[in-house]
Structure 1
């Protein structure tokens, strides 16, 4: 397999096509999707991702390891999917804070996810350029991920309160510059109010979701570059992890709040990848104050297979432990009604 301009063009066109299909087949007519609908399309996109990974496994490898890139894709996809589930929890909080009626949530989610993929595409291109110009950037990536991992766990231990989206600077700025209606006008993002153009809370929530995912991208892109340095794999793993995320949001519903140990699991995964990146940087070292500017070839290397086993293992333990811990407890999060459709505003 050769990743050339045509390959990129076809890939981007197909992914864009799925977003357009999602909009016209599910989002154009406002409705709260059923569990059956959400389950079918979640499974569809997971199977699609597995099929793509198998395709890479069979057609694109390295000398001595014909399945290298397929394994990298699966490791990256699982990592990005896990981080995406954490995104869903934040999306639920935002939906609750803005009191978005369930039938309008699909539109906000789909547009927000599409925008996040554009943001991530920019970060992926920048990351590839930086790595090409300066391989020692892996030291910075690794240290950054270790810091994020520590912060993720400490925030959970301290039970740090979530940020109120109404306090976000970008939201306050929008409301100062452009009028925002008090209520909703169907699923419209922009309306004419009192002879003037005004935004609806749906649009403001969309901006909040986009800004939040922009921050998540700062974690996820360095994390997957710790697994593979192939921009094509980084992009496709991100794109396929985001496809179906809207359906998964409705499918998981109240289950999100039962994953009490998920932040700890993600912290472990990010820390593991951070260590892997630092070890990789030691092998490729060009810093004069480290081993005289030579690579530290005695440092251990973590293989892609090991990465996949560790990532999947941590997620399985985290999910099982969470379900055991929360078994028999009644969810009490106030935003649950938003997911379940009890609040029609």
Structure 2
């Protein structure tokens, strides 16, 4: 699909304007906690925006492009939910006051959006010139799927990346937060606050997540415009989703398994389609409708089974507590 430069510019400017309006609405006045009502509204708004964009894409570019966008968007959004576990751990580790968490998430996500844009451009150019990279991406996704299964239950272990370690070592910083400021002058010397450090942590961590999500969406489409927009729409509503899900994150116990299956499926799809392009007769080409169905059904089953298990565990825990209290009584 050939996208004119003005369309790229219109989409990027439009997304930035929406984000700027979002930031202005939330940050006007005194800092305050992000309410469930606000989170619900903005999550619904961004999801609706993505659906409208997909419909426009359907009308202007056809059902195949729209299907690729929706498959990519659902995949990126699903992977983003898993990322929220790590964001929650980072917020807790840095003891970020709740009233400032939405600002940290927005700035971190903006950083990730810029870096992902660069990553997508490089990836698209590389795939266009080196077709063998499809095999590399496919094997990498299968490897990532296996790692997700093996690391299930170890989400609390989030190592610091090199950029974050450098920032904490090289930048003079205060021990405590100074409101929502990222820098402050003390005795004529400029210091950064923990607010900037945690923003770097969120942004760079999300870039590491892109090592999984970018190859995954390239397994669904090689169109840079669809890859970028699917990533952008998934990232835009991420901070509101963080507050909306809240404690629900801890109840999605099988999410890693569902994502592992999706990544493994896309990895196999990439390899099969690369073989098909190389005229290997037994290698089928998987239609985007099949991919979209597999991704959607997997996430629904994963969510339902997670909530059922969480409810069962809660009931069992309550029964144990009641029994223990009865014995003590």
Shared fold per TM-score greater than 0.5: yes
Residue 202 (structure 1) shift: 1.1
- Out of 258, 268, 271, the position equivalent to 2:261 is 268
Q: Secondary structure at the match of 1:300?
A: coil
Q: Secondary structure at the match of 1:198?
A: strand
Corresponding residue number in structure 2 for 1:258: 251
Q: Secondary structure at the match of 1:89?
A: helix
- Out of 310, 318, 324, the position equivalent to 2:308 is 324
**Does the aligned pair in 2 maintain the 1:181–1:201 contact within 8 Å?**
yes
CA 1:161 to 1:315, structure 2 compared with 1: closer, same or farther past 3 Å?
closer
Residue 164 (structure 1) shift: 5.0
**Does the aligned pair in 2 maintain the 1:139–1:278 contact within 8 Å?**
yes
Corresponding residue number in structure 2 for 1:14: 14
Q: Determine the C-alpha separation between the residues in 1 that align with 2:181 and 2:59.
A: 45
* Equivalent residues, number: 314
Corresponding residue number in structure 2 for 1:340: none
Q: Determine the C-alpha separation between the residues in 2 that align with 1:129 and 1:164.
A: 32
Corresponding residue number in structure 2 for 1:160: 154
Q: Determine the C-alpha separation between the residues in 1 that align with 2:221 and 2:305.
A: 29
Unaligned 5+ segments in structure 1 are 62-66, 286-294, 332-345
**Does the aligned pair in 2 maintain the 1:97–1:164 contact within 8 Å?**
no
Q: Determine the C-alpha separation between the residues in 1 that align with 2:280 and 2:22.
A: 49
Residue 2 (structure 1) shift: 5.3
Corresponding residue number in structure 2 for 1:133: 129
Residues 50-129 of structure 1: matches in 2 within 5 Å?
50-61=51-62, 67-129=63-125
**Does the aligned pair in 1 maintain the 2:135–2:271 contact within 8 Å?**
yes
Corresponding residue number in structure 1 for 2:237: 244
Q: Determine the C-alpha separation between the residues in 2 that align with 1:232 and 1:173.
A: 34
CA 1:112 to 1:330, structure 2 compared with 1: closer, same or farther past 3 Å?
farther
Unaligned 5+ segments in structure 2 are 316-329
Residue 178 (structure 1) shift: 1.9
**Does the aligned pair in 2 maintain the 1:135–1:284 contact within 8 Å?**
no
Residues 1:315 and 2:299 aligned together: yes
Residues 1:221 and 2:205 aligned together: no
Residue 211 (structure 1) shift: 1.3
Corresponding residue number in structure 1 for 2:166: 173
Residue 168 (structure 1) shift: 4.2
Q: Determine the C-alpha separation between the residues in 2 that align with 1:28 and 1:215.
A: 32
Residue 175 (structure 1) shift: 2.7
1:240-276: per-residue Cα shift (whole Å, max 9, x none)?
1111111111110000000000001000000000000
**Does the aligned pair in 2 maintain the 1:279–1:299 contact within 8 Å?**
yes
Corresponding residue number in structure 2 for 1:302: 286
Q: Secondary structure at the match of 1:192?
A: strand
- The structure 1 segments of at least 4 consecutive aligned residues displaced by more than 4 Å after TM superposition are 328-331
Corresponding residue number in structure 2 for 1:288: none
Normalising by structure 1, we get a TM-score of 0.88
Q: Determine the C-alpha separation between the residues in 1 that align with 2:235 and 2:24.
A: 18
**Does the aligned pair in 1 maintain the 2:86–2:155 contact within 8 Å?**
no
Q: Determine the C-alpha separation between the residues in 2 that align with 1:161 and 1:79.
A: 20
Q: Determine the C-alpha separation between the residues in 1 that align with 2:132 and 2:281.
A: 15
RMSD: 1.6
Corresponding residue number in structure 1 for 2:145: 149
Corresponding residue number in structure 1 for 2:323: none
Deviating more after overlay: 188-197 vs 210-219: 188-197
Q: Determine the C-alpha separation between the residues in 1 that align with 2:231 and 2:24.
A: 23
Q: Secondary structure at the match of 1:49?
A: helix
Q: Determine the C-alpha separation between the residues in 2 that align with 1:73 and 1:273.
A: 15
